[in-house]
Structure 1
Amino acid sequence: MDISSTKWSSSSGVTAKNSQQTQSPISQFKSNTTNVSFSSLALKLKDAQRSIDNAQVKQLPLVWNGQKALKSEQLNKQEVAAARWEFEQLSKAQLETIALDPGGTFSDVEKVAAYEQWHVLDQMALSSMQRESLEHENPLDAITGFEKAVNSHTQSFSVLGKAMVSEQYASNAQAKFEAIINEQDKALHKTTSQSEHYYTMMVKDIFAGDEPNVLSGVDGMSLSNISKSPFEFLTQEDRLLLADMYEYADQNDIDFKYIQRLASDLGDYRKHNDGKLVSNFNSGHFDEHGHQLSVGFTEKDQATIDSLRSGSALASSRLDQGFVSFLTDPGLGALSHVGSYQFLQHMVEVTAGSQTSVSAGNFEVFKDFSSTVERYVMSTSEEAITRPEPDVVCKNGHCEVTEKGRQNGVTLAQDEKAMSPAIDLKSESIESLIQQFKNTEKQESIWYQWLADD
């Protein structure tokens, strides 16, 4: 089973854009031959039709007798090809007139060309019937549908059309179609068997052989979700894609740990509701001195990410574009990623069927990070923010109003005994807890009074 519509291959060739194509014998012949004018061909068709009409009146059989000419080694194939090019715009009825001409109006070369061109058109019709029949999911329905279509097709032949084919025309077409069905069935069975093998390999390597149900990250970091492995949040589509990656890795001698790490990054993204529950680190983090912190990628990873974003593979890759966008944002992915950005780019290109920037040979042996400096780069701003002075300062349960607090009119009530509010240990939300720090009569906050009394 392939990840993309093209067979995976780390060494697949690419035709150069400026490669030269040799001129075909037909085009060479066209450039050196004066074609018969349309009016001249029309006159010859009329003469041939008269000969056919006379033969039909005399009840003479009209049969294709060009087999000898087809087998003749003396027949100029270039002349036949040129004649076919001349007859490309003719209808099947006109081609029948030329091929079955009994009066000698057309030469053997022209008859053979008309016969071949007629069968090109007929084969196009048969191919169309095959495609329509193959839309049936059941092979027996497909065979039955094609048989009906072929019978209807042969019944539509004119008298001359029937003379262009053998008596075994319908049975031969049916036999070829059944052979196609059988080959597809064998290929499907082989592909299914292979797919199951690599899916089992994926389950064994990622889930230790026991595949769990798909968990949802929509509820966020609930008590039940927070302890779960990121792998458990991988969707069924993710798991199928990973199974395809294992097939590719197995065929290209890639260390499976690269896939494990990529699966971990993807699972963590799913666990946080497709990244919606993760805040961007670069949106506002400060050190103890008030300097703003910012995180970025290493020079190597940044170059890979720039190449990935500027390429065309991402648009057609089977990898979730939202996940790739999340992981390549420094404030979101630099600190959280555990996988390789080089392998990520490689798999984006492979799943898109594109030429890979780095060959699969670079991933034969897994290379882990030796230190944090290989994962991300942390920097601090030169300027530091000044923290505002609070109105109240509390230490070891004792609270005092600061100078700024006194200027703002903040006081701690000392004449009113404010008892510590009873805390309902069964409270299920922070809001219900805060509501208990209220004076129900005056609707005033007694938070500071409670702390002061303690």
Structure 2
Amino acid sequence: MAIPSLVPPDKERVDTAISMDGYLATSSISPLARQLNEAATRAEMRVDQKNTNTVDSIIDTHYLTNKAQHDAQIPNTTNPELLARARQATGFVNGVDSNPFKGLARDQLDLIVHDEGGSFTINERRAAWEEVQSIRSTAVSSQKSISVNGRDLMISRLFHGSEPAIAQPPATFYNMAQNPCDFLNSDDRNVIADMFAYAQAEGANLAHVTQLAVVLGDYRRSSDGSQTVGGNNGYDADGYRVTFDFKKEEAQIASRILNGSAINSTRIDQGFLRYILHPDHGAFTNIGGIPFLERMVNKFSNEGDDQPPLGSEFAAFKKINFEDYAVRTTNKAIRLPPDKSVATVTNGVWSLTEYGKASGYVIDSATGKLSRPSDSPDEKTPQHSLPGAPATDAAHRTILDALADTRDQPAQRWIWPGHLFKMLRAFKP
């Protein structure tokens, strides 16, 4: 735990005498600074002992039950400054004096609030706690005042200057090219706007928020992910089972989000979080980095006031290659059965597979008809033209023809995470 800046106000300084050799002859540290240093030392010990439940005695019924005793408490000292501050704190909590800790930094106030070492009276700790609440209220008011600017940023970056109506799912062949952010609902847009305002105030690159909004919008378009087929059900070219997962560091963060307390009160949709933090979907979709998502989950929850500021690691936005955030595993114990298809198409050109050749099938180069001349007259396969071939008779269609025909597109589509991955790779923040 870092010890906060303990430089006291000028009025609290003790005169400093400097000897001829440059060393301090007397201390220049104020009584308050000395108390804060001692409180910081005790705070480090509490962290080591994982004991952080130190505010019960100064809040709610715990405090009010023993109010008379707290008002009578006097510091064990003869220092007039400490005695006067304790009296002022008691006056403040009873509404007849000003707060002696007004103007102190938040980290210094926190040291006083949580210190049970006896340096501060209960009423002093209560006064420091009330100053923390005042700072929080001011921060909330400030956040509200910039929310309009956050809305403007969202409209500018996501909607190019004009906010559209909320588009409705499901994902279809016709809306796949539409801006995924159009599908963000009212709650999504409100929290995204606040994210933009917060990220700008903290000096973070706004592309982190944009990327998160794009992924959330695509989740909404695909009927809250219900149309999206999980990515961990594929096979490689040799037929072996292939799965993908987060790298170790991001897997740990994902677990921390899903099992932490902030997820229960965060404004970010919990269903989306559980969807995107599952490897079946999240391992294919870079959301600007899971570390940024964790900071947003925590910040926009009931625990938001206790969160540290965004660090410099979010000042830049760097495109991450798929291989840099996903771990690929090939399971050679699971393999597809041999392929029984007799023909395949590459760039619109049909050709026989090895199985098709071995089974005696041929493709007529002039007509494009698929047949197997080795069949007996009673078993002979009807000759059918392959799609795209110069066939003159389309009256007979094989299942292969039907599967290959894309002229009649379905109204509703199932989506693989790879589709979204390709879209995100083309995204330019």
TM-score, normalization: structure 2? 0.50
Q: Give yes or no for contact 1:255–1:363 (8 Å, CA) kept in 2.
A: no
Distance in 1, matches of 2:293 and 2:227, equals 23
Matched residue type, 1:228: Q
Partners of 1:321 and 1:292 in 2: CA distance: 30
How far off its partner does 1:251 sit?
2.8
> Is the CA contact 1:301–1:342 (under 8 Å) kept in the aligned structure 2?
yes
| Corresponding position: 1:233 with 2:183 | yes
Matched, 1:372 2:346: no
Q: Is the 8 A contact 1:202 1:242 kept in 2?
A: yes
Q: 1:399 aligns with which of 360, 370, 391?
A: 370
The one-letter amino acid paired with 2:162 is D
Query: Counterpart of 1:26?
Result: 68
Equivalent residues of 2:292, 2:314 under 8 A apart: no
Distance in 1, matches of 2:255 and 2:308, equals 14
Structure-1 separation of matches of 2:55 and 2:167 = 52
Change (3 A) 1:213 1:380: same
Distance 2:396 2:372 in 1: 25
Residues 29/274 of structure 1: CA separation in 2 closer, same or farther (3 Å cut): closer
- Report the secondary structure of 2:311's partner residue: helix
Identity within the alignment, %: 22
Displacement of 1:377 after TM fit? 1.6
What SS is found at the alignment partner of 1:381?
A: strand
Instruction: Kindly indicate whether residue 188 of structure 2 is the aligned counterpart of residue 217 of structure 1.
Output: no
In structure 2, relative to structure 1, the CA distance for the partners of 1:279 and 1:195 (3 Å cut) is same
> Which residue number corresponds to residue 402 of structure 2?
none
Deviations 1:321-356 (A, max 9, x none): 111111111111211234211111111111113267
Give the aligned partner of residue 200 of structure 1: 152
Contact between 1:346 and 1:358, CA under 8 Å: does it hold in 2? no
Contact persistence 2:242–2:331 (CA under 8 A):
yes
Aligned-residue offset at 1:422: 8.9
Equivalent residue letter for 2:273: V
Q: Is the 8 A contact 1:296 1:376 kept in 2?
A: yes
Residue 394 of structure 2 corresponds to 420
CA distance in 2: counterparts of 1:402 and 1:293, whole angstroms: 39
Larger mean Cα displacement after TM superposition, 236-245 or 358-367: 358-367
Q: Secondary structure at the match of 1:308?
A: helix
Quote how far apart the aligned CAs of 1:285 are.
Answer: 1.0
The residue aligned with 1:293 is: 242
Q: Counterpart of 1:334?
A: 283
What is the number of equivalent residue pairs in this alignment?
256
3-state SS, counterpart of residue 216 of structure 1: coil
Structure 1 contact 294–378 (Cα < 8 Å) conserved: yes
Q: Say which one has the larger Rg.
A: 1
Q: Could you tell me which residue of structure 2 aligns to residue 16 of structure 1?
A: 52
Instruction: In structure 1, give the amino acid aligned to 2:315.
Output: V
Maintained 8 Å contact 1:401/1:410 = no
- In structure 2, relative to structure 1, the CA distance for the partners of 1:365 and 1:410 (3 Å cut) is farther
Q: Note if 1:411 corresponds to 2:380.
A: yes
Structure 1: which 5+ runs fail to align?
1-12, 31-76, 78-115, 117-186, 432-454
Structure 2 SS opposite 1:306: helix
1:202-351 superposed matches below 5 A: 202-218=154-170, 220-223=171-174, 225-282=175-232, 284-351=233-300
Contact 2:286 2:320 in 1 (8 A): no
- Report the CA distance between 1:358 and its aligned residue: 6.9
Kept in 2: contact 1:390–1:402 (CA 8 A): no
Aligned AA for 2:325? Answer: R
Q: Structure 1 residue 385 and structure 2 residue 421: aligned?
A: no
TM-score (norm 1): 0.48
Q: Distance in 1 between matches of 2:222 and 2:209?
A: 20
1:353 aligns with 2:302: yes
Q: Structure 1 residue 295: deviation in Å?
A: 1.0
Change in CA separation of 1:330 and 1:402 when aligned onto 2, cut-off 3 Å: farther
Q: Superposition RMSD on alpha carbons, in Å?
A: 4.3
CA change 1:346–1:335 in 2 (3 A) is same
Q: Secondary structure at the match of 1:210?
A: coil
* Shift in CA distance, 394/199, structure 1 to aligned 2, threshold 3 Å: farther
Q: CA separation in 2, counterparts of 1:203 and 1:350?
A: 22
Match for 2:269: what amino acid? D
Bigger share in helix: 1
Q: Deviations over 1:385-436 (max 9, x none)?
A: 3315458756463434599x99xx953147xxx942299x9985679xxxxx
Q: 1:104: which partner in 2?
A: none
Structure 1 residues 429 and 194, CA gap change in structure 2 (3 angstroms): closer
